[in-house]
Amino acid sequence: MADLLEAGEFKRGPGGRPTRQEAERKHRDLLTTTKRLLLERGWDATSIDEISRQSGVAKRFVYARYADKATLFFASLLHFRDEWIAATRIPDPLPEDVHDGLILLGRTLLDIALTDEALAIARLFIAEASRFREQAKLFIENETSNPLEAIARILQFYADRGALDIDDVRLAAETFFMMIVGVPQRLAMLVQREPPEQETRRLGAAVKLFLDGCRQRPVP
């Protein structure tokens, strides 16, 4: 990667090569700038030239790493999702009571998914996904930065303790995510975010429905 960068582009380490930390920082700048410009200007009004100029990353480095604007766009979304997951702070240890734990998890998901930035990115993703089906498919299936993996680990925690009866934890995680986030996010995208009391009521109802289907029943 280092030999693709413009002279003077990075701080130099031993032998004149960019330090790994500096290269990683510039890559983060590239992805953050891509996301910002796309949200500000939209797809058609955002060019690789402008992304390169505003991020301070040479175009030849951009094209060496990303084949086109679509690939760079979805990479910037993955980067955002990494940050989103990193911001998901669930207390450790989790509450012993599964209901309390899932309410806490659901509230955490909503507080992130309903931010203005998350909603703007969701709108952009939906608007462009049909044009770039292969990249969108890879984005959805990417496991290294997928919030479903974090949800699945928490569901597995309660399943291991006998509180949940789950055959397919990934499918259960998908179901939980859609039950908790689906309607509130859609309302916020199309109309406005619900009042806090209604949001809390909807969250409680969704957790109850999920537990009604997944709670471990005592053996008669």
- Among the ranges given (2-16, 62-76, 159-173, 199-213), the one the predictor scored with the smallest mean pLDDT: 2-16
- State the SS3 of 35-51: HHHHHHHCCCCCCHHHH
Torsion 110-116-118-119 (CA) sign: positive
pLDDT tens digits, one per residue of 87-125: 666 777 889 999 999 999 999 999 888 988 889 888 888
- CA-atom Rg of the chain in angstroms: 21
Best CA proximity match to 114, nearest among 173, 188, 216: 188
Q: Answer with the residue of higher pLDDT: 36 or 141.
A: 36
CATH 1.10.10.60 in the chain, residues? 1-65
Residue 132: predicted pLDDT: 80
Query: Span 1-65: which CATH code?
Result: 1.10.10.60
CATH 1.10.357.10 in the chain, residues? 69-220
- Among the ranges given (2-11, 94-103, 107-116, 190-199), the one the predictor scored with the smallest mean pLDDT: 2-11
Tokens 């299936």 belong to: 141
Number of residues that make up the chain: 220
Residue 8: predicted pLDDT: 34
Residue 73 carries which side chain, given as an amino acid letter? F
Tokens 């480095």 belong to: 61
Tokens 């969108």 belong to: 136
* Whole-structure pTM value: 0.76
Q: Domain 69-220 adopts which CATH fold?
A: Tetracycline Repressor; domain 2 (1.10.357)
Q: Which residues contact 36 (CB under 8 A, 6 or more apart)?
A: none
Burial letters 71-102, b for 16+ CB under 10 A, else e: bbbbbbbbbbbebbeeeeebeeebeeebbebb
